[in-house]
Amino acid sequence: MTHLRHATSFRCASFGIAAYFLTIVAGFCWSACAFSQVETASGADAAPPGSRPEGFRTSRFEIRDEFRDLRGGGTVYMLVPRVDVPANPDLAFRIETPIVFTDAGTPNNDTASGLGDVLFRGSYRAARGAGYAIVAGGELILNTATSDDLGTGKNVIAPLIFASIDLPQYDSVVFPFLQYYFTLSGNDARPDVNYTSIKSAYLTRWPNLVYTIVEPQVIVDHERADKVGLTLDGEIGRFLNRDTAIWVRTGFGLGGESLPEVYDWKFEVGVRFFLQ
């Protein structure tokens, strides 16, 4: 009973923090559209700066449909709405509210569905020069999942830093990216989150507003004796007009069979809207 009360109190506290951050983010939405966007190391950066029409929108709403086949067995399906809002030319905020469906697979075939762990990100462009930018920030991932199978059971902090380096001779941008995840609080009965993600996204712009991304990732799980896992993702997307982009993404796990951060394979589709 004591364990249940602790788990419930963590979850209630998480919802309270989430409500607070939602209020802050909503306040920024009304005044954001006049500013240039902070780099995101994603397909949102794919529009060639020189070809952006006047009034190019910088607040963004996107939704992705993602399926993951897990290495330990079972599957996860996620419907993830995301909002990105700039507060000024160098500062941006993000919120993700995933809806998650899980299937544990044989022999139990247990299933669960509901709200997953809500994510907040703040990003600050710390430096910018000819052909490069450096962005630092962090993510707060809250234990808001409505079932144990839908989240980590932990409140997680994840500081990050990445660079945006233009390669104009290839019409490309490379994003070396470093992020460290660690447990802030949560259910003591669940394993702690403690790992480092090192990745480098290589974005290339093609004719007809098409772009591609190749993104290898190395994961070092400090909670599991610094075991190393590898993933490789590929994405192709297209800007339909100045307001809308679509993409398809797939990925595969190349190592780290026992690590929860490494999937067997995944597939996602998404749509991104640039808002005023």
- The whole-model pTM stands at 0.82
Average pLDDT across each block of 10 residues of the chain; the chain has 276 residues. List them in order: 40 41 35 49 70 55 95 90 91 95 79 94 93 95 92 95 94 96 92 95 94 96 94 96 92 86 95 86
Pair of tokens at residue 147: 């079932």
Write down the pLDDT at residue 105: 75
Q: 83 near 25, Cβ under 8 Å?
A: yes
CA proximity to 144, closest of 25, 24, 16: 16
CA proximity to 256, closest of 35, 73, 86, 71: 71
Residues 6 or more apart whose Cβ sits within 8 Å of residue 151:
100, 116, 117, 143, 144, 145
**3-state SS assignment for residue 170:** helix
The dihedral region occupied by 107, where left means phi > 0, alpha psi between -120 and 50, and beta the remainder, is alpha
Could you give the CA distance from residue 101 to residue 79 in angstroms, rounded to a whole number?
9
**3-state SS assignment for residue 270:** strand
